Chain A
């Protein structure tokens, strides 16, 4: 006898809504066991993880600040993922965006360019460069049928080395003792602050605007509909004459543009200069966010907030309970595991299958 997964004809609505709750519950139980085993009070640990980061205005600001790039990138990636276009290289597209936006900021330098002109220019430049970087795997896929998972991923390393070369070389701060970092941006090149006393900046508004556009795109546009069809039933889509090449281009470019803007937001937001690494892996974490959010714009908003809270909670648990950072990773992994496992059970059912004697 063995256990087999059998696709459900239709997932029940109640199950779809209950699955995340069940996953959260299972995570809490697992967390309880882990914290208890480490000799920490589980209640205090949960408090440190989920309540304390949100207890102050600054904390809420940080939550939204960290959720913004995840939200933005995941929304862009979801466009492609729905049509089975797998852009794994958002981290590289983010880096290119930061280079383009940061390059403009550095070029403007002390030249008194008004912020109202400079910032939009930086964002457009970042989006274009992110798109250009994503266009490479798109072209390789449509022209040579090269697997975009591999090509987009490998371009991440190229992008990082390019940034590294720039700030070890031509863009290095001349007064910085040869350390690899650019000059600090002038105030005109920094995103305006939204709430005083926090670091929350206009990047959040950009992210939310992109989420709204994305929602309109999938709900109201023909191309959005066609991409969904292509993802659900590739053969039917091809039969209906839906261009798979256009889907690849749309999917990759949307991901690239969003990641590029996210790169500008990081450079012109909390960092304020170019550094060897512009993101602590937002481009990769956004892949998880996209799937936890079920590739739906609203789901992605919630998933990015959850992911951000897990990061902040991990730090807070370290500061307040001296929990090692590995526990944070473990806890995050547990939650994602249960979320995805619950998803599988929503769409499939387990069935015991009697082993048939092998045909002779």
Chain B
């Protein structure tokens, strides 16, 4: 082979390689395909609904730079891995998996798709291309507790809760501490439903709690049933996940709502900039990940002021709902005076604080 032909061959190969590589490069410049996996149907309120309004908001914030798609109602377990893999396969470059049970499937798929970035909500394991995020919902719970503590006449609040995992338990504890910070006589009764979404069982639990004297109800479940039950029974309610005032116009005194759009926009922007790193984000009131819902008509101005003052203090980092002295409901001292809880202890919380009635099912 002569020198010139060899050179020409090389040039041709290089040109071919370039031609093949170019469309790929051009594709990378296109909008960032961002995909979401939801554990329940989007519906009008609840955990998944909040993620979806954030998705839509992010799309608006980064108009032209991102496209989004989602798969809803994906059960945790064997199916999740296929759905996540399908999304990665179909060209998604950033995937948010928004339920705890997606943790291991997300990690498995992430290993097979090193060029896709994953963000998993509420888990505890990260990887080279898997970041995790969650919000300090307990801060909002504490604030809601303040309002509930002021509004209750019977000094009994009812709490409808799904599963005794740390996430839920720290909410119950923070709510109780909020209540008792303004009303030391207040107690909280808990009913477990063993389901994130079961409107029938949730409203049954709500009615049971009202029959036991509770005149403020709140819930850590996904439906609007508890707020509706409170409306029907003429007691107060603190909504969770979403503002549910249209389901309980008289009942809802406030709500602890989840706000993800700022975070989603931020993550997508860092991926676009090429600066994304797998992080462990646990944001709170300060970061705008939790917003308190509108006060109900029944809430007087002095209570609103009290709540807003505490909210400002939490945002400024001056107030931590779990500051000692803090006893559990068996009388054991968990935090000494002035001591604040560590994130590690918080994320493993498996005891009720003083003021919660009953024992934690299979906790301890």
Contact = CB atoms under 8 A, between A and B. Distances in A.
Nearest to A165: B362
Size class of the B contact interface (CB-based, 8 Å): 35 or more
B319 interface: no
Contacts of B347: 177
B215 to A, nearest CB: 30
B204 to A, nearest CB: 14
Contact of B83 (A165, A179, A315, A326): A315
B205 to A, nearest CB: 15
B69 A319 contact: yes
A50 B224 CA distance: 36
Given A178-B165, A180-B165, A326-B41, A62 B90 contact: no
Interface in B22-43: 41-42
A317 to B, nearest CB: 10
Contacts of B349: 178
A164 B100 CA distance: 16
B124 A177 contact: yes
The secondary-structure label for the interface of chain B is loop
A168 interface: yes
Interface string A144-173: 000000000000000011001100110000
A273 B107 CA distance: 15
B339 interface: no
Contacts of A280: 75, 77-79
A276 B350 CA distance: 18
Interface in A257-291: 266, 269-273, 275-280
A272 to B, nearest CB: 8
Contact of B350 (A178, A199, A277): A178
A112 B72 CA distance: 40
Given A178-B166, A279-B77, A315 B82 contact: yes
A239 to B, nearest CB: 46
Given A275-B77, A278-B77, A319 B71 contact: yes
A324 interface: yes
B166 A177 contact: yes
A322 interface: yes
Nearest to B344: A177
Contact of B78 (A266, A312, A326): A266
B361 A168 contact: yes
B250 interface: no
Nearest to B86: A319
A179 B165 contact: yes
B276 interface: no
A322 B348 contact: no
B86 A315 contact: yes
A301 B213 CA distance: 55
Interface in A305-340: 311-312, 315-316, 318-320, 322, 324-326
Contacts of B74: 315
A312 B83 CA distance: 9
A178 B168 CA distance: 11
Considering the complex of A and B, which 4 residue pairs feature the smallest CB-CB distances, nearest first? A169-B362, A270-B78, A325-B73, A280-B75
26 contacts: A66-B79, A161-B194, A164-B163, A168-B163, A168-B164, A168-B362, A177-B124, A178-B348, A199-B81, A266-B77, A269-B78, A278-B77, A279-B77, A315-B74, A315-B82, A315-B83, A318-B70, A318-B71, A318-B72, A319-B90, A320-B90, A322-B69, A322-B70, A324-B41, A325-B41, A325-B72
Interface of B: 41-42, 69-79, 81-83, 85-87, 90, 100-101, 104, 124, 163-166, 194, 347-350, 361-363
Given A164-B194, A176-B124, 7 more contacts: A65-B78, A66-B78, A168-B163, A184-B104, A270-B77, A275-B77, A325-B72
